[in-house]
Chain A
Amino acid sequence: MAVKDFLRERFFPHLWCPGCGHGTVLNGLVRAIEELGIRKSDIVMVSGIGCSSRISGYLDFHTLHTIHGRALAFATGVKMSRPKLNLIVPMGDGDALAIGGNHFIHACRRNIDITAIVMNNRIYGMTGGQYSPLSGYGAAATTAPYSNIDHTFDVVELSKAAGATFVARTTSYHPKEITKYIKKAIQHKGFSVVEIMSQCPTYFGRKNKIGGAVEMLEYMKDQTTPIDSKAKAENPDLIERGIFVEKELPEYCEEYEKVIERAKGGA
């Protein structure tokens, strides 16, 4: 199948701003699905609210556009009732870790077989550029004109600590990595988190005087490095990309199936 066969072309051009990194995530995601050869009807994409969450509307899978921060709760319900389906949950940084922070850590802890994609642009774009928990200390935002004093979460460390069994990170500058990690995350049995650092030129780039999409991508190229690289040893401030966790633990739906068997008086 061609890339376009997975899109709802009637909704294009999409609503994202020129140069928005979320479009590159959509691009990489579609290629991952194409390469895996999963049937469209075997995929359920569940999203919440925000620029990032609009991604579900553009894809021709089963899609649910739900409420802010609660996409993982809806996805858990779908997965529990139809465990054979592939659940993909794209979320923004605020949707995943502020409004949906509790849903996020508990989905990690349960190890339910869902692929969470955190499209981290470090700001609330849709509502006008308010700072998010990923903006970080010293960042500027509409609601932090004198700079933000909140420290940031590290999505990878948080996911690891909460118990996710697959954790990866890349950026929208690295489209081949996007496809590679999303593929691995979908194939992984258990809860997978893929953080994709994405650019919001309209708010984050402008408020922080980084520039447009091109300059923000150059920034991501310069500020990130593969895990355990020589560059990281020389400059500890660099953000690492790669697969941080990949391990096997009992999956939630399978464990629940065993509970049903026990309740029926079986083994």
Chain B
Amino acid sequence: MAKKKLKSHNINRDWCKGCGICVHFCPKKVLELDAEEKAVAGDTEACIVCRLCELRCPDLAIEIETETETE
């Protein structure tokens, strides 16, 4: 089966309220809050596409975009 690979973290800055849930519970510590207290993806290489940030986000501000890995 083709593996899903991260394309990008699409974070809606207008909707994000900076609660930090995604940052705290990310198992790979990919996300962080910037100077404006908005979630941003830092170490995207570490992302395992578990989508927990997308599912837990109370502001529906995160969308994980994936692409199929081609080898």
Contact = CB atoms under 8 A, between A and B. Distances in A.
Interface of A: 3, 7, 12-14, 16-24, 26-28, 30-31, 172-173, 175-176, 179, 201, 212-214, 217
B21 A217 contact: yes
Task: List the 4 closest pairs (A to B, CB-CB), nearest first.
Answer: A23-B58, A19-B19, A18-B17, A175-B55
B52 interface: yes
Q: Of B17, B24, B52, B56, which is in contact with the most chain A CB atoms at under 10 Å from its CB?
A: B56
Majority DSSP secondary structure for residues of A touching B: helix
Interface of B: 14-15, 17-21, 24-25, 52, 55-61, 63
Nearest to A19: B19
Nearest to A7: B60
Contacts of B60: 3, 7, 12, 23, 26-27, 30
Contact of B19 (A14, A18, A176): A18
Q: Of B15, B20, B55, which is in contact with the most chain A CB atoms at under 10 Å from its CB?
A: B55
B19 A24 contact: no
Given A12-B15, A13-B14, A13-B15, A214 B21 contact: yes
B66 to A, nearest CB: 13
A23 B20 contact: no
A14 B60 CA distance: 9
Nearest to B63: A3
A3 B59 CA distance: 13
Given A13-B61, A214-B24, 13 more contacts: A12-B15, A13-B17, A16-B58, A18-B17, A18-B19, A19-B58, A24-B55, A26-B58, A30-B60, A172-B56, A175-B55, A179-B55, A217-B25
Q: Of B17, B21, B58, which is in contact with the most chain A CB atoms at under 10 Å from its CB?
A: B58
Contacts of B63: 3
20 contacts: A3-B63, A12-B14, A13-B17, A17-B17, A18-B17, A18-B18, A19-B17, A20-B58, A21-B58, A23-B60, A27-B57, A30-B60, A172-B58, A173-B56, A201-B19, A212-B19, A212-B20, A213-B58, A217-B24, A217-B56
Nearest to A24: B58
B59 A175 contact: no
A158 B17 CA distance: 35
A249 B48 CA distance: 44
B13 to A, nearest CB: 10
A140 B61 CA distance: 32
Nearest to A12: B15
Given A12-B60, A13-B14, A28 B55 contact: yes
Nearest to B60: A27
A233 B37 CA distance: 42
Contacts of B25: 214, 217
Contacts of A22: 58
B28 to A, nearest CB: 17
B24 to A, nearest CB: 4
